Structure formats: C-alpha cells, structure tokens
C-alpha cells in the first residue's frame, strides 16, 4: 500500500492501521479489496473526512491519500510529508512534530476509537474496463470526426476539379479551346480520377477490421 499525505493545520489525532487492503482510520475500517488493478474509487464515494483523493490500485498496490493533521509545533517532515511506500500491516507511523520545551519527548498516546465499518459507495467505482470503454468511445468519436473531415475535403476537391473540367469541356465542344486548355483538362481528369478513388477508399474505411 502507498499512502500519500496532505498536511492540514489541525489539532485532531490521526490513527491509521493497515491490514492488507483494509485501512482503519480513527476507528473506521475501510475495505478496499474490491478496487482492482487500474480501477478508481472516487473520493466522494468514501464516507470519511480523512481521505483527500481518489483511491486507485497501481501496479498491484493500493494508493490512498489521507489528510495529515499537524499541530502548532509541526516539523518540516509534517509540513512537507513524503509518500509512505510499501506500508506494512500494522499501525502507520507518521512524521513526528517538533519537541516542545517542558513536555515529555515520548509521543502522546493515541485516543481510543470505537471500531466501526466505514461506508463506501461502491456504485461509484470506475473499473479499468469502464475506463477502456470510455477511451474506446472517445477514440471512435475522434476518428469519425477525422473521417468526416477527410470526406468533406475530398468532396470539395472533386467538385472543384469537376467544375473546371466541365468548363474546359464547353470550350472544347465549341471548338474554341486552345491546346493548353485541352492539356489542362487531360491533367485534371487524371487528378479527378485519383480524388474519386480516394473518396471511394474513404467509404470503405469503416468496414476494415482495424477500424477505428
């Protein structure tokens, strides 16, 4: 388990115990075993004020972010806490405050908390499969927009070239076109054929196995 910490000036106490995927925070036990690899449990789904971000499982490890209450005599380690990596089962050790003159150096005893099951709204869990489906849908929408743009461009080119070919054809039919006009039309007909073949290929894109 990886525990990230967000410092907040507060005189409350924070007691956390790890037992596998179960995190007990001030007596509230939260079982995150349903969070699979790549899943995300939104912060708002966890009914506790001590969580400060979504819970995820990355590379097999749960990643949680907790608020770290720090007293008036907070230490630099408390003000700028580093993530706790590979947290073992048992009570979590947080950074200690600076010593206060006249007070014992031993850490103060943590208050006793009544053990209860913490509430989690699992209906808000975003699974890796859901993320993949959302990404696939977004990609499909993007590729459809790209394809539509290419089709529109091809249509515009075909219409533009066809109009010029027709115009030159009028001159040829009337016997008023020059050799340069005839050469231009011949070149345009080659280009027009290529654009039509491209447009035809675009129409087959969505039937390809790799689409999108």
**Domain residue limits, the chain:** 2-126, 132-207
Mean pLDDT on 178-203: 96
CA 211/CA 207 separation, integer angstroms:
7
Q: Is the pLDDT of residue 25 over 80?
A: yes
Mean pLDDT on 182-189: 96
Task: Express as a percent the part of the chain with pLDDT over 70.
Answer: 95
Predicted pLDDT at 68: 97
CA 112/CA 115 separation, integer angstroms:
9
Looking at every residue in the chain, the average pLDDT score rounds to 93
User: Would you say the C-alpha torsion 106, 111, 115, 116 has a positive or negative sign?
Assistant: negative
Cβ pair 58, 8 in contact under 8 A:
no
CA 172/CA 186 separation, integer angstroms:
12
Cβ pair 117, 29 in contact under 8 A:
yes
Q: Widest CA span of the chain, in angstroms?
A: 112
Of 14-23, 62-71, 108-117, 134-143, minimum mean pLDDT range: 108-117
CA 64/CA 46 separation, integer angstroms:
11
Predicted pLDDT at 212: 85
Q: Is the pLDDT of residue 110 over 80?
A: no
To which H or E segment does residue 189 belong? helix 179-202
Q: Is the pLDDT of residue 105 over 60?
A: no
**Residue of 87, 76, 75, 80 lying closest to 32 (CA atoms):** 87
pTM of the model: 0.70
Q: What are the angstrom distances between the C-alpha of 148 and each of 29, 82, 198?
A: 52, 49, 13
Mean pLDDT on 101-106: 64
Cβ pair 63, 56 in contact under 8 A:
yes
In 31-178, which residue ranges form alpha helices assigned H by DSSP? 76-79, 128-173
Q: Is the pLDDT of residue 168 over 70?
A: yes
Of 22-26, 79-83, 102-106, minimum mean pLDDT range: 102-106
Predicted pLDDT at 121: 95
φ/ψ of 57, rounded to 5, equals -120, 115
Read off the DSSP letter of residue 123. G
């Amino acid at each position: 388990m990886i525990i990230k910490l967000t410092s907040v000036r507060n005189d409350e106490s924070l007691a956390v115990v790890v037992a596998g995927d179960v995190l007990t925070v001030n007596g509230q036990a939260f079982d995150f075993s349903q969070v699979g690899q790549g899943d995300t449990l939104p912060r708002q789904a966890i009914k506790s004020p001590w969580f400060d971000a979504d819970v995820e499982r990355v590379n097999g490890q749960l990643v949680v972010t907790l608020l770290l209450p720090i007293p008036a005599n907070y230490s630099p380690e408390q003000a700028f806490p580093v993530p706790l990596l590979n947290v073992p089962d048992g009570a979590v050790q947080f950074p200690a405050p600076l010593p206060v003159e006249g007070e014992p150096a031993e850490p103060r005893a943590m208050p006793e908390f009544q053990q209860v099951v913490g509430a989690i709204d699992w209906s808000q869990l975003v699974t890796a499969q859901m993320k993949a489906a959302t990404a696939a849908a977004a990609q499909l929408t993007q590729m459809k927009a790209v394809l539509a743009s290419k089709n529109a461009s091809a249509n515009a080119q075909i219409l533009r070239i066809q109009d010029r070919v027709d115009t030159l054809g009028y001159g040829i039919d009337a016997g008023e076109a020059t050799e340069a006009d005839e050469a231009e039309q011949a070149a345009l007909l080659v280009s027009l054929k290529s654009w039509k073949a491209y447009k035809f290929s675009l129409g087959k894109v969505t039937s390809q196995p790799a689409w999108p």
